[in-house]
Structures are given as structure tokens and as C-alpha cells.
């Protein structure tokens, strides 16, 4: 019967020679490979002391951005939650009250904004979908935790510090 792909290799059924029975060439070849790898540069990084450089397209933890005046950029439009294929983002919208103009940029803001990092696949769709550039992905990664609730990041965990309050605290 003829093969369809012509990729079959015939099996050599000849008896082994005396040199092949000693296995010395095979052992020498294996030792040569071992010695070659022994003197190569190690690929291991001693993590706490050294850190490896991240790729320029690395996507890490989510950050909620503020504008130049320190107001929250997020308007709770929900586009990031809709764009998320893993459905890791949940939010609740609320209306800005009179006197809160210094806190929120628009009339509507995210009263509750949560990301479940156990579901997140770090695809970056939320960052691309946000029309206000309120969500971006930093170059830090999620720290280890022993409980599931430690991986659900709320608005307080993701919001960058208020720039004007941070300047006041540094001056004191």
C-alpha cells in the first residue's frame, strides 16, 4: 500500500555493530551536550534582588486615572465592562451632587467600580474602550494573596492618589 504523504521513513532492521552495542558514541554525544549547557549563561533571574525587564507591551494591574485638577475621569459609561470578554468589571453609576464638582469631572461618576483580577485575562480591551482615558494598565503585576476577596480590587485600590493632596502631604 502506498503512503499518501510520502513522509514515512523506513525502519532500519539491520543488526547492531560492535561499536553500537557498546553505546560509547551515544554516551559521548550526551556528555558533550551536557558540557555545552554547563557553560552557557543561566536563564534564571534571582527575583527579589534582580528584576527582569518587562516588554513594552506588558499589561499589568488596572489603574483609574485622574485629570490635571485631581478629579476622577471615569464617567461610569460602562464601555469597559461591556468590552471585557471575561466579565471581570462591575460598576454602579451615581449622579454628582451640588458641591462635588471638585471630586468628579462629569455629572455621572462611578460610585462602585470593581475588577475581579481572578477573572481578568489582561487583554487590554477595557483600556481601549474607555473614551475618557480613565482606565489604563500599569507595569505592575498582582501580588500573591491567600484569599479570593484579596483579588477583587475596588475603586479605592485602583484610583491614583490625588495630586494636590499628595503635594500638601509631602510639604508637611
Residues 79, 93 contacting (CB under 8 angstroms): no
Distance CA 94, CA 113 (A): 11
Cell numbers 475603586: residue: 155
The alpha carbon of 11 is separated from its chain's Cα centroid by a whole number of angstroms, namely 48
Beta 62-64 vs 135-137: how paired, if at all? antiparallel
Residue 123 CA neighbour count, 13 Å, CB half: 16
Which of 147, 153, 140 is closest to 89 using CA atoms?
Answer: 153
Binding-site positions: 74, 77, 80, 84, 120, 123, 126, 130
Neighbour count for residue 84 (Cβ, 10 Å):
20
Distance CA 82, CA 79 (A): 5
Binding-site positions for [4Fe-4S] cluster: 74, 77, 80, 84, 120, 123, 126, 130
Residues 155, 73 contacting (CB under 8 angstroms): no
Amino acid at each position: 500500500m502506498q503512503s499518501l504523504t510520502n513522509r514515512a521513513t523506513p525502519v532500519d532492521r539491520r543488526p547492531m555493530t560492535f561499536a553500537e552495542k557498546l553505546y560509547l558514541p551515544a554516551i559521548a554525544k550526551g556528555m558533550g551536550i551536557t558540557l555545552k549547557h554547563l557553560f552557557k549563561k543561566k536563564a534564571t533571574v534571582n527575583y527579589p534582588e534582580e528584576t527582569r525587564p518587562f516588554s513594552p507591551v506588558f499589561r499589568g494591574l488596572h489603574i483609574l486615572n485622574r485629570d490635571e485638577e485631581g478629579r476622577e475621569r471615569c464617567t461610569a459609561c460602562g464601555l469597559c465592562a461591556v468590552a471585557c470578554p471575561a466579565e471581570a468589571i462591575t460598576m454602579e453609576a451615581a449622579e454628582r451632587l451640588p458641591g462635588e464638582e471638585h471630586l468628579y469631572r462629569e455629572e455621572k461618576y462611578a460610585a462602585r467600580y470593581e475588577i475581579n483580577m481572578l477573572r481578568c485575562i489582561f487583554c487590554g480591551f477595557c483600556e481601549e474602550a474607555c473614551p475618557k482615558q480613565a482606565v489604563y494598565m500599569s507595569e505592575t503585576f498582582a501580588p500573591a494573596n491567600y484569599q479570593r476577596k484579596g483579588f477583587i480590587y475596588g475603586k479605592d485600590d485602583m484610583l491614583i492618589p490625588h495630586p494636590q493632596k499628595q503635594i500638601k502631604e509631602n510639604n508637611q
